[in-house]
Amino acid sequence: MASTHVTSASSVFGEGKLKVESVIVKPFQRPHPPKSLFVTYPKEEGEYPVLLFFHGTSTLALLYKQLLLHISSHGFIVVAPQLHIIPFKKDIEEDMTESSEKDTEDATKSSEKDMEDATKQYIDTLQGTDKDIEDATKAELFTITRQNSKADIEDAIKVTNWLPDGLKLVLPPGVKANLDELALGGHSRGGHTAFSIALGYGPPSSLKFSALIGVDPVAGTSESSQLEPKILTENESFKLSIPVMVIGSGLGQESIMPPMPACAPKGVNHWDFYKRCQPSCCHFVVEGFGHMDMLDDNAEAEIMGSLCKGGESREPMRRSVGGLVVAFLKAYLKSDKGDLRSIVHEHKHIAPAVLNPAELREKEK
């Protein structure tokens, strides 16, 4: 029986059995979501749990495509809203919310181009001397530090409240979303947004969340410069009634170019989130990989992540994160903890990268 669980657990780190599809929906397109959405889903007819996933600081939801398709191939629908826009050079928000109506297929292609153009504009600011890059980074960090996550939280809850009536109109016939099995997750600043919502910040949500995931979550640039709401207060435990998974990157707290700050600084990173969690909760750190190494393998994602220290290849990190998310969602949305427990005990033999620590604390019955 144990070997069966190990085989099953190793399979979560690879592509699942289900064929998958993705779509981008803009606010001007029916069914008019509050924010532009990147949605991935299995093509096979059936009812699937849903993961609401929030991108990191000034990152495009589209750049998580490989990761999110991996998750969907194991039987999950993922909804990734574009919560905030890259704050460089031009107002991308106008492009992403243009009011003209288009054919769905053309509009989707246009959406992908808008997102790619937005990325390229950001890339333009980073192509230059080391000093140019350092200045751009400091400006970005200052912008994010002085801002708070209030708008992201409010927009994320608007998307949540839109799901019951809107998501079914995005999915093809026969593919149904089970919103009674809804998980909340996010990367970097998006992890902070997810935790903030789970802790009750922001307007009320019409749906209940069943699980929470932080992928290398970050709550600011330092303990003294946290994003609002400041959820890492003293050492007080999070008052959460749902299971939590925190995934960290081994290189996230290292600077790529001292004295520039790290992308996931000590005091506000995954360690600080996890130590405030209570059972049921789990913590995995992917050694040898960086804060942005779960992004896609393309030029845009490569340069978006160039300000963070990273590993030699992104695939092992992306597969590790994807597999961990799948195992966690199976454990707490489908009541199948076999894969998650096997990963904790057998990760040295089945994970694509070194996981240290690999810890699971379950509630006592």
130, exposed or middle or buried, with CB in 10 Å at 0-12, 13-18, 19+? exposed
pLDDT for res 86: 61
188 assigned to active site: yes
Residue 112 vs residue 19, higher pLDDT: 19
pLDDT for res 148: 76
Q: Which of 58, 73, 149, 188 is catalytic?
A: 188
Integer Cα distance of 292 and 301 in angstroms: 8
216 assigned to active site: yes
Homologous superfamily, domain 2-361: Alpha/Beta hydrolase fold, catalytic domain (3.40.50.1820)
283 assigned to active site: no
pLDDT for res 133: 39
Strand, coil or helix: 246: strand
DSSP string, 128-195: S-HHHHHHHHHHHHHHHHHS-SHHHHHHHHHHHHHHHHHHHHHSPTTEEEEEEEEEEEEETHHHHHHH
Closest CA to 307 of 263, 360, 351, 269: 263
Q: Which of 55, 70, 84, 291 is catalytic?
A: 291
- The position carrying tokens 């181009």 is 113
Mean per-residue pLDDT of the chain: 86
pLDDT for res 80: 99
pLDDT tens sequence across 17-60: 999 999 999 999 999 999 999 999 999 999 999 999 999 988 99
pLDDT tens sequence across 134-192: 444 444 443 443 467 899 999 999 999 999 999 999 999 999 999 999 999 999 999 99
Residue 228 CB neighbours (<10 A): 15
**How many alpha carbons lie under 13 Å from residue 237 in its C-beta half-sphere?**
8
Q: Does the structure show a pLDDT above 80 at 95?
A: no
Report the share of the chain in percent with pLDDT over 70.
81
Spatial contact of 270 and 287, defined as CB atoms under 8 Å apart: no
Query: For the whole model, what pTM was predicted?
Result: 0.85
Integer Cα distance of 66 and 50 in angstroms: 17
* Torsion sign over Cα 202, 204, 207, 210: positive
pLDDT for res 146: 44
Integer Cα distance of 9 and 360 in angstroms: 15
Q: Does the structure show a pLDDT above 80 at 130?
A: no
Instruction: Strands of the chain (E only): list them.
Output: 20-25, 37-42, 46-54, 77-81, 175-187, 211-215, 220-222, 225-226, 244-249, 281-286, 355-361
Residue 242 CB neighbours (<10 A): 15
pLDDT for res 2: 54
Average pLDDT over residues 209-222: 97
Distances (CA, A) of 244 to 194, 212, 329, 330, 333: 11, 5, 10, 13, 12
Report the share of the chain in percent with pLDDT over 90.
70
pLDDT for res 24: 97
Residue 139 vs residue 364, higher pLDDT: 364
Q: Does the structure show a pLDDT above 50 at 233?
A: yes
Residue 3 vs residue 159, higher pLDDT: 159
- The position carrying tokens 């109109």 is 169
pLDDT tens sequence across 308-321: 999 989 999 999 99
Q: Which of 216, 272, 293, 296 is catalytic?
A: 216
